Amino acid sequence: MPWNEPGKNNGNKDPWGNRNQQDGPPDLGEILKKVGGIFGGGKSGGSANKTGGGGGLFTIGALIAALLWGVAGFYTVNEAESGVILRFGKYHTTVGPGLGWRMWGIDQIYKVNTNELLQERVEGRMLTRDINIVDVEIGLQYRILDPEDFLFNLSDPKQALVQATESALRQVLGDNNVDAILTSEKERIRNDLQQELIAILDTYKSGIKIETVTLERALPPRQVNDAFEEVNRAEQDAKREVQDAQAYRNKTLPLAEAEAEKIRQQADAYKIEAIARARGEIARFEKLLPQYMAAPEVTRQRLYLETLEQVMSSSTKVMVDVEGGNNMMYIPLDQLMKKRTGEEDK
């Protein structure tokens, strides 16, 4: 029953002995002896006095050790990190940022920065599809996406990343000719390389996320570099000539098309004019036909004179052959017309 239960004559005893409450607080040494007696004391009072002190110190030491063990179990994971906890060396759980507690000595925690952008460079000498050798240098930027896979699926994540990059390089460059790698299709090859590397790392379950892949350098070996440079210069010259030709075409073709359209319109106008003139001549001859039928000789003479007048009106010089003579008469009509015009003006 409780030591201070009401209605019982407990003699105002406390749990530490027959002490009166008015005597003041119990002595610390007596308390330790009592505790030692409870946890490790002997059966008799004498033996308790002999062994109680040692058992009390053991109990206090055990309590302090338990307290220290509990305090040592606290840990802190930073904002940019994730914590992976192992229990007895086996994966247990993944924890996020903040304060946490683990069983110290039993659980182990590995902290992994999942926000840091890591970088790596890989160099290699690769064989292309057309049996040429190319020295390449690749720049990688990546993050740790899954801490558990990153820590436990790969024995050496950095070395595995390098080997996966070299494998992707062999695959992609082996499917392309050296000209495409060195000149015209670098961007496509870079995209193919990134996709191939991502597929390989996903197969490994590496926990790595590739952010960017850059083709830093792609050059032929030093021994044949001059020949490749000459080829590159020739290709650049060819591209420049093609561009110049296209520029000339873009400049000349519109002018030629405009000139062709002008000639076409003139031809259409001449066609319409010729048809109209021919129809007018037909109408004129249709009107002359009745007159010719009525007086053929007169009509013929009149047509001759009208034609002669039309022809001579545009001529400035007239040569007259005198019948029966060897001389030819020259009549300067232009001069005569000018003289006549001057006299009329006066």
Residues 36 and 60 in one domain: yes
β partners of residue 90: 87
Residue 177: inside a domain: yes
Q: Which residue has the higher pLDDT, 3 or 230?
A: 230
pLDDT digits 0-9 by tens, 283-314 = 888 888 888 888 888 888 888 888 888 877 77
Residues 105 and 170 in one domain: no
Residue 7: inside a domain: no
CB contact set of 235 (below 8 Å; sequence gap of 6+): 179, 183
User: Based on the structure, what is the number of domains in the chain?
Assistant: 5
Task: Look up residue 41 and give its DSSP letter.
Answer: -
Residues 216 and 136 in one domain: yes
Residues 263 and 287 in one domain: yes
Residues 28 and 59 in one domain: yes
237-265 average pLDDT score: 92
List the CATH number of the domain containing 210: 3.30.479.30
pLDDT band per the 50, 70, 90 thresholds, residue 263: very high
138-145 average pLDDT score: 90
Residues 125 and 159 in one domain: yes
Residues 179 and 261 in one domain: no
Q: Is the dihedral of CA 165, 170, 171, 175 positive or negative?
A: positive
Under DSSP, is residue 11 helix (H, G, I), strand (E, B) or coil?
A: coil
pLDDT digits 0-9 by tens, 81-117 = 888 888 887 787 788 777 878 778 787 888 888 888 8
Residues 123 and 215 in one domain: yes
Sheet holding 90-95, edge to edge: 90-95, 81-87, 107-113
Residue 3: inside a domain: no
pLDDT band per the 50, 70, 90 thresholds, residue 196: very high
Residue 255 one-letter amino acid? L
> Is residue 44 over pLDDT 60?
no
pLDDT digits 0-9 by tens, 9-33 = 444 444 444 444 444 455 545 554 5
Residue 16: inside a domain: no
Residues 93 and 140 in one domain: no
Under DSSP, is residue 78 helix (H, G, I), strand (E, B) or coil?
A: coil
Domain residues for the domain of 150 are: 118-220
Residues 270 and 309 in one domain: yes
Under DSSP, is residue 84 helix (H, G, I), strand (E, B) or coil?
A: strand
pLDDT value, residue 53: 55
For the chain, how are helix, strand and coil distributed in percent, rounded to 5? 55, 20, 20
Residues 153 and 166 in one domain: yes
**Residue 156 neighbours by CB distance under 10 Å:** 9
